[in-house]
Amino acid sequence: MKKLLLVTDTYPPDINGVARWAEEMAQRLPGKGVEVAVAHPRLFWHVPMPFYPELAVALSAARPFARMLERERPDFVHIADEGPLGLSARRVCVSRGVPFTTSYHTRFDMYAGMRVPGVGPLARAYLRRFHRPSAAVFAATPSLCETLQAERFARVVLVPFGIDTEFFTRDPRPTVPELPEPVFAFFGRVVVEKSPEEFLSLPLPGTKLVIGDGPARMRLERRYGDAAKFIGYRKGGELVEWLSRVDVLVMPSRTETFGLVIAEALACGIPCAAYDVMGPKDIITDGTDGILAKDGDLAKAARACLSLSREACREKALRYSWDESLDAFVGHLVPLSGGAREASHAGAR
């Protein structure tokens, strides 16, 4: 069996799309003949991330990562994101001539620009530089591939996400409390870049449900707690039960690269209202399994979703198979050549 060293700056118990993706890859790739060793921040000296203290940040990780590279003796190296650990791994691989691939999961340039005006172009330049030596840059949607190519990223390849449609399926008799209908939900991290406050301010009937947590939750719950129900993170069967109470998912974010929660909601028969932006427009068939608010009226789009077919939503979700995702991922990995393998193992003797 071949071995992959997967480098990620976020991994469970972190709760976010990249952490969940990395965990699924580690569990599922052995079925494709690839053993996975995961390098994540909690294996190194780490501190809490500013603004997101629940996340760990690996510091001074280059030397310990080099030792891990020597110890694991991988056939492939893949760097999942551009954080401090990813940067340390990139530096080690470049210095040793070890080929590696990368993923572009998150629009950090847009996130940075929302927090610090004017910093977006600098962040974009950093991202281009980070991915420049990568043998292939994995992107989850056609829109993201086109955007990265237009922004002068090289060797961009399509590697779609997969979802577990056996797990994410509507429970006809959920045991969680009933809510005044219809139920509109925000599902994801409660952070400024996901625009949860925009969802909470929409004029919608019934119940607004917030599934998730994050640094913006306390402030938003103080302001909107009488008009919305905040339930925090939910996992496993309890998450599916809460989703089974939902009539419409509302995605106010304009910074998605894929929108994993959209596909998961669709698998539970939940249509999605979203803006006509990257991520949602790659998943949603407008008027069939969701509504794209092309006129900017997200509340109108959410109300229109109430008439859509749950069966059509489920049918769309079934297209996002893990088999297709894993085959694409493995097919684009770049093996270490004999010389590169010797370089990666140089300190192991």
**According to the model, what pLDDT value does residue 15 have?**
84
Q: Is residue 18 part of a domain?
A: yes
pLDDT classification of 112: cutoffs 50, 70, 90: low
Q: What is the pLDDT of residue 349?
A: 41
- 134 belongs to a structural domain: yes
CATH code (residue 144):
3.40.50.2000
Mean pLDDT of 31-52: 91
Q: Average pLDDT, stretch 251-260?
A: 88
Is 177 within a domain? no
For residue 13, the model assigns a pLDDT of 92
Q: What is the pLDDT of residues 296-346, one digit of tens each?
A: 999 999 999 999 999 999 999 999 999 999 999 999 999 987 545 555 655
Instruction: Based on the fold, state whether residues 130 and 6 are members of the same structural domain.
Output: yes
Q: Read off the pLDDT of residues 184-220 as tens digits, 9 standing for 90 and up.
A: 999 999 998 899 999 999 999 999 999 999 999 999 9
**Whether the Cβ atoms of residue 101 and residue 332 lie closer than 8 Å to each other:** yes
Residues 125 and 269 grouped into a single domain = no
Residue 19 has pLDDT above 70, yes or no: yes
Instruction: Quote the domain boundaries for residue 234.
Output: 183-320
Q: Do 26 and 121 belong to one domain?
A: yes
pLDDT digits (tens, 9 = 90+) for 68-97: 999 999 999 999 999 999 999 999 999 999
Which of 77, 87, 84, 65 has its CA nearest to residue 131?
87
Domain identity same for 240 and 331: no
For the chain, how many helices (H) and strands (E)?
15, 14
Q: Is residue 176 in a domain? A: no
Domains contained in the chain, number: 2
Give pTM, 2 decimals. Answer: 0.87
In degrees rounded to 5, what are phi and psi of residue 35? -75, 145
Mean pLDDT over residues 101-116, rounded?
73
